[in-house]
């Protein structure tokens, strides 16, 4: 008296492309890539920014519409390590920094 053979369900693993990357400056996973339309059709401009250390950069040339955030990130890392891209550091806008500044000004009164 044997049992019926059960069918195994095959689960497909979905591989998703990341949207937040590791910052080469501070090492935290808070680097994002934002796109906007370029003047040329079929191209877009890319801005890279880190939410923790305030690293900001704009990709030097327009990228094709086929490029995704991971493609721009990889090219940005190459240019950053070679020192061929201009980066700026802006103070990240968080609630903690504003609270610290308010606390410092209130102590002196």
Q: How many domains does the chain fold into?
A: 1
Q: Is the pLDDT of residue 50 over 80?
A: yes
Is 85 contained in some domain?
yes
Determine the number of helices (DSSP H) and then strands (DSSP E) in the chain. 2, 6
Q: What is the dihedral of CA 14, 20, 22, 28, to 10 degrees?
A: -120
Is 12 contained in some domain?
no
Is 15 contained in some domain?
no
- pLDDT, the chain, mean: 84
Q: How far is CA 80 from CA 48, 73, 76, 103, in A?
A: 11, 10, 6, 37
For the question of whether the overall pTM of this predicted structure is more than 0.85, the answer is: no
What b/e sequence results for 15-43 when a residue is b if at least 16 CB atoms lie within 10 Å of its CB, and e otherwise?
A: eeeeeebebeeeeeebbebebeebeeeee
Identify which of 75, 71, 72, 33 has the alpha carbon closest to the alpha carbon of residue 50.
33
Q: Is the pLDDT of residue 7 over 90?
A: no
Is 2 contained in some domain?
no
Is 101 contained in some domain?
no
Range picked from 6-10, 28-32, 102-106 for highest mean pLDDT: 28-32
Is 40 contained in some domain?
yes
Identify which of 55, 71, 67 has the alpha carbon closest to the alpha carbon of residue 23.
55
Q: What is the pLDDT of residues 66-90, one digit of tens each?
A: 999 999 999 999 999 999 988 898 8
Q: What is the pLDDT of residues 12-27, one digit of tens each?
A: 999 888 899 999 999 9
């Amino acid at each position: 008296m044997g049992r019926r053979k059960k069918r195994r369900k095959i689960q497909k693993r979905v591989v998703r492309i990341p949207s937040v990357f590791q910052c080469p400056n501070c090492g935290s996973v808070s680097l994002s890539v934002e796109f906007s339309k370029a003047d040329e059709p079929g191209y877009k401009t890319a801005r890279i920014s880190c939410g923790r250390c305030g690293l900001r950069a704009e990709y030097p040339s327009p990228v094709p519409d086929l490029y995704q955030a991971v493609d721009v990130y990889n090219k940005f890392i190459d240019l950053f390590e070679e020192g061929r891209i201009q980066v700026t550091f802006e103070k990240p806008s968080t609630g903690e920094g504003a609270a610290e500044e308010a606390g410092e000004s209130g102590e002196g009164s």
